[in-house]
Structure 1
């Protein structure tokens, strides 16, 4: 990882956002993080950046107020300027139907939020490295869910 990467986290849980930032800080990776707290903020942010300065990777929580992650993923994939944005679903749920749906709708990877900080660091590191190694493309379905 030589390049500096811009990450965007869309999550309405302040604690989850803080833990995510702390994990990134401890990993000492060349990244910067912007957070938004709901789907409306997310879409406003992305549309404002649409043609330039998009994040390199979006970490997207599914359960957010005003507009949830499902709706945001659908909107992002429908917009020409945003459709290639790598999206890592970052959710507390590991419901197989939801995972399959997110894969079908074009998410790049799926992470279940771990309860332990060390596992959070591990899974964020894994998501960044794997996404970049795959040139930001969606993998085969059996490699879609990343584990810590």
Structure 2
């Protein structure tokens, strides 16, 4: 059974900002000669990792709305230099825009079932993607997105 995660994307104002951050991080890793992967580090290791790795995604909450997702490729538990257990959630760097879904602030991550996850935007929704991020945010605040 497929399971997803939802997480706040702190410090990011738009999907474009998130993509720029991912691109910068991957280019930096390549220039330093380290493994070129995109991941998100968390404190807790998901207990339902098998379900996440069965085709699950990480849905990002940006400015109060789920706006985009990334496929989860791998879960890598590790211990940091301070001896604290952590987890790297390895993600496909490609962002998949979704229908916006409002979310209140929370800490950490939450599981998200397939039935509760927002749908992906399709080619028919290309007009929404063409709008500037500020306008999309204003429309979402008005409940129109």
Query: By the TM > 0.5 criterion, same fold?
Result: no
Give TM class, smaller chain: under 0.3
TM-score by length of 2: 0.27
Structure with max Cα Rg = 2
Name whichever structure is richer in helix by fraction. 1
Query: Higher relative contact order by CA 8 Å / sep ≥ 6: 1 or 2?
Result: 2
